Structure 1
Amino acid sequence: MNNNWFRRLLLSYLPVFFIVTTILFFIFFQVFNEQNRREALKANEFLASQVTQYLDNSLRSIDFKVLREILTNPNLKNYFSVSGSDDVYAGIQAVQVVDELKIEYPLIDSIYLVRYGDGTVFSNGKAVPIEEFPDADFIADSRSRDEQKWAGARAFRAFPSQATEQVITIVRSVGNGKGLVVTNVDLSTLRKSIMQMYDPEFTFVNIFNRSGGNLWDSSMPGGGAASTKTTSGEVFSEFTSSYSGWKVQTGLNNGKIVKWTLQFYNIWFAFAVVVVLIGVVWVIYVTRRNYKPIQQIVTLIQTVSSQKQSGLGYGKENEFRFIHTTLERMIDQTRQYQEEHEENLILQKKMFFQELLEGTRDFTSTELTAEMKKFKLPELEHRWAVMVIEMDRYDTFVTEYHHQDQSLLKFVLSSILQESARHEGTEVWAEWISDQRLYAILWIPEMEQAEETEHRLLAGYLDRIDQYLNFTVTIGVGRVAVDIRGLRASLKEAVHALEYKAVLGINRIIPCSDVPNSTNDVYEFLKTISLLVQAMRLSDDVWEKHFERLFEQISESVLSRQEIMNTIQLLFQHYNREFAELPREYQESWAAIFTPLLPRLEGWETLDDLRELCWEGFRELALQMQTLHCSRKHRSHILEIRKYIEEHYNNPDLSLNYLSDLFDINPKYLSKLFKDEIGEKFVDLLISHRIEKAKLLMQETDKAIQEISEEVGYTNYNSFNRAFKNVVGVAPSDYRKAM
């Protein structure tokens, strides 16, 4: 072969490797950068909102508290109402108000009161003239302004000897120009509170007042305009307070985190390059190593193929196609041989099982040992018992499950039995000989009691079936055998035990030793059957009592299934003989009910099932028998009444009530009988008969119409005329003229 697969493999691996690696690098860094950017934006946006919310809540609370004290505190009102500075008590009360505010709000640096009545400023418990107070310019500026908002960062000192501090201030007027309450918040304290929300080493927060001045810039005492980028870094988020009108900006510093990220990126890139180089070397090495066995395989296959099929030219095919074709053919042949072997083995094993139990083939000791080894079965050296497992309600099972599901569930039944046997430390060989029954041979160790081993195994087996499956089984067990003849006898005993499933019940174990002796008293059965048939023939409700007694006798006698069926057949024979002597309609009723019932009698399992089937048929037959008896009795009555009407139609008093009194029948029931048996109402029948007689008299005699009317039973001529016209279609006179 001239194809060089080493180069092909090498050129096939490398492009894919480089493309995939490049795409992964690109996707990784894109996703990583995008994720970092989004997380940074979210974090900064949250920080800006928290700082803004904190500023608004803190400053608004101070402002509202001061305003509330101005409006409601009597001590503060009393201080501004006094015109002179000699009221010491009013000053003490004002000091208490100021101290309470400073204690409640630690952000407040100082509060001083300006009273225009005497031109004094009350600060730190002392009253000084306004013009001597260090903050006199701010007071004058605040008095001239109408709006009262927080002033940006400014320098403040309460005494000339005191150091200057950076504060923000809110000014509130008292009364109608009586004075001012000036509240200063320490800017350094406020900044420390805000810095607790973030790490200044990685993040910055700038706050700008309305004029654009940065509150943190202490070099601008007036809070004038300044550059909005006082801290190096990129601004990620910005919020403007709706209360103070200040602007909050947040972002990241160009500090250690950026440098670390760049260093990590460089390290990762270098690592990626190294990995790519290692990958290239690895692909070359693996390709070279893998090509050698491929070349050896191709050479070997080519040699074998050229020996077996020298006429086929494989030399021009590529290696893998040649290998694929050869292996595919070999795999198909191997699979076919394996399937045939397994299928034949399963059939042979099942055939051997039947021959072993049914006795259709005699085995020598050598043949038996060879067959057992062939199918990997334990040797028949100890004791065994045959079990027959019958599925209960098999008709329902076939109806509810698909054919494939039925096969699967039967396999599960066999598997659970084998698992239960292994749990007891023994072996079981089970085969489905019929659709409904699983036959099994149980190996019983010599050191154990056979009955105890069987009971434990089968009890656990029934428990597992009840736990995992939706149906039940009944198990017949034969006696323990020590040779093949006893094994076959054990099979017959197990099958015979299942015959008593109808009486003993389903979902249980029936050992052959527990099968009772039947007490089949034919005379008692015949007596009960005779009484039942006679009561049914006479439509006597006592038939129900005899029916129940018959099934009680069957249950008490503990009959096998075949004996029960013989008893039911005897019952049906009596019915056939008795109904053969009855009229045809009775025989038809019997045939209509019991002909479809007979096939259903083959599918019952318990005595209760058989009783239910027979009860439905006998109850329906009893109802029809009663209906036929009543119908025959009523038919004789209605024929007698009809004959009376034909003879006495001319009686003017003839009516439904007249007939009911005469024949002692309820009028409504009599009307129903006419409709059911004759097919028309009594009135229609009487009128029809009278009009027909009147037409005959008009044809054969010259009697007057009035006379004919009275003769046919009409005392009123108008009634006759109307009835005649309704039936014939013309008046009586017109009818006679036409005749």
Structure 2
Amino acid sequence: MFQSKVFRRMFCSYLLIIVVSMGIYSGFLIYQSKRIAQNQSTWEHDLILREVSDVMEETLSDAKETVRDLRYSNTMKNLYMASRLDDPLDTYEDYEVQKEIKNLYALRADVIYSTTIFLYGSNRAWSAGGPIYMDVPFEQQSFSVPLLVNGNIADSIGLTDNQRYYFAKEGLLYWDSYTYRNGTEVGLCCVLIDLQNTLGRLQSALGDDQAIRILYQGKELLTVGDISGRKPAVEMTGSSDFSYELYDKSHSLLKNNPVLIGMLVILLIVAIIFAWVGYWESRRYYKPIDYMGKMVSGGEPTEAVSEDQNELGNIIEGIEKLIGEKNSYREKMLTVSPYAGAGMFQAIVSGQAGNDKLNVLSDEEFLDLKHPYYIVSILNFAYEWTGKVKSISHENMSEIFKQVSATWAGEDLHIAWYFSGKNSAYLILSFDEKRDMDDMFFGIHKLIQSSVEKEHIVVTMGVDVVREDISELKAACEGAASALDGILHDGRGEVFFAEEFPKGNVDYYLPSGFKEKLRTCLENRDKDGIHLLLFDVYKTNLDLDASSEVYKSLVEDVYLTMMKTVRKVSGLTTVHLNIQRVSELMSLQEIFDYYDAALISVIDLLEKNERQKNKENQLDDEIVKFVEENYCDPGISLQQLSDKYNVSNKYLLLLFKQKYNMTYLQFIQGKRIERAIELIDQNELPISEIGTKVGYENQLTFRRNFKAVTGRNPSEYAAVKK
């Protein structure tokens, strides 16, 4: 057959159509995949950089707050005065300094590793582990503060080898000035940030094979991941003198894109199948022509035809010679000739030519073209009004499907069904001749809907295109499921047909600053604002009439934005919230109604937490008021307060730490010494009686605490006043 120019042209025409069609569709698939991958990569990079920026900003903020607390600490001021007066601290005072430093960064222990104070002119440094002796007095450094570097204290201030042991811990160092009351710089504070903790938090924000380079004031601070031989994918300048360079792996369009690979493989398989079908179709349509050629040549193979010869014309000419020149035969051949010239093979196999004109052919050469066609549909069942999926009785639905089969099935149409889950079923129609099935499916939907209407069930159908290759059954099921995605835009209770071409390439709408607006509504407990914001997104996107893939991307983007915002807002409180992802097939309205209800529930929980917090604040005020009125009572203690207000000792310690930035004992001691000073100024009571009056049963303890606060013994203070 390949010797025939007619056959070759016929087959090559099929191949050309297949190659052009598949090439256009492949290009469209690759373009869409590349565009989606670029958008997703940009979104991921922005998200990662923001998370990294949050980690670094929070870390730097913790370090700054630690330095600020040290500046305003009375214990640290007493330390400075003792250092200036060259008055060595006793063991108790050293302990107080050590405890004060430890308490000041205790609340930030997950970020801060240690804190050290260096006073100019002093050969001792103070940390939570106690005083550290140096060979030479500490002098002013050449670097400007505040400063954030990566290294250790020894290298930063140039300590000798025998001193390096105390300051060899590697980490992020935050240096800032330590000032006295008048703002004079009297030393340096060094906050050692836990490098491993910081690297772990940064690594958790990065994806696989991603790296980031962090710069502070234009200089490299630290690098997470391998950046050798790579160029930054994106750069960002943050606040607090930070800038960031994010390095990402090079994304191959086909690598890690199984969907695109699968589509191209399917496309290649379909092209091969079409080519095979084209070959057999060409062979089938050419076979009558080949048979007539053999008849004309007396059963011998037809000779090859040169480029300037007409093969069909030669066959017709041979038939005329074989039959003769009689008028009756000429009339018949004149009638058959138009069929041959316009494609006689098609007239023969389709039965359009009369039998009296085809008696030269044997019946064995006729080909039966009646192949079974089929179409697949999928049905979804849900409760009316709510959209919640409905678990159906397979037995009841089988009876309904039998009724459908009894109504429409016949000799030329067969109906089968298959339950794919608790709330869905496939309905498959097979028939002999290709036809328009839309009206039939509308009728089937109406019959099924009326049968389950009393149970308040809504039936939605997705219908694939007519097919004839049984190997495409899986694709037919996927096509029906894809058509059912029309629920997203048009809602339930409809019949959706698979479209031959996807809808236009339209991006979904998300208002500028959507995340910030959502956060503002949550923080302000603005339920009306939530309603309006989500309705704007829903209504605007509904009017776009986009494809189901676009709406799915919208739903996913809104969900991710909601979750990050809710976690950000709830992170400021003790409430931990979560919103479940939509897993069932729902309409766009149902999804946004669910999101709206979920966010309103979040606001209700936050308000409930605030009321609980206010109740706790009221209790805190009562406790503080009781202590301020009874601090002179020698018997007042944490245990007494714990029993009286039914709270734990830890709760009381945190209360005074958060409210006054000091421990409970420091608060009691400060109040008692203030009252003692007032009584000494009045000069009405002896010193020993004043100590007892302000709550000290032991006079030695009174004198030691008085000196720790004022710098003088009670008697010295009284003498100065006189």
Q: TM-score, normalised by structure 2?
A: 0.32
Which structure is higher in helix share? Answer: 1
Q: TM-score, normalised by structure 1?
A: 0.31
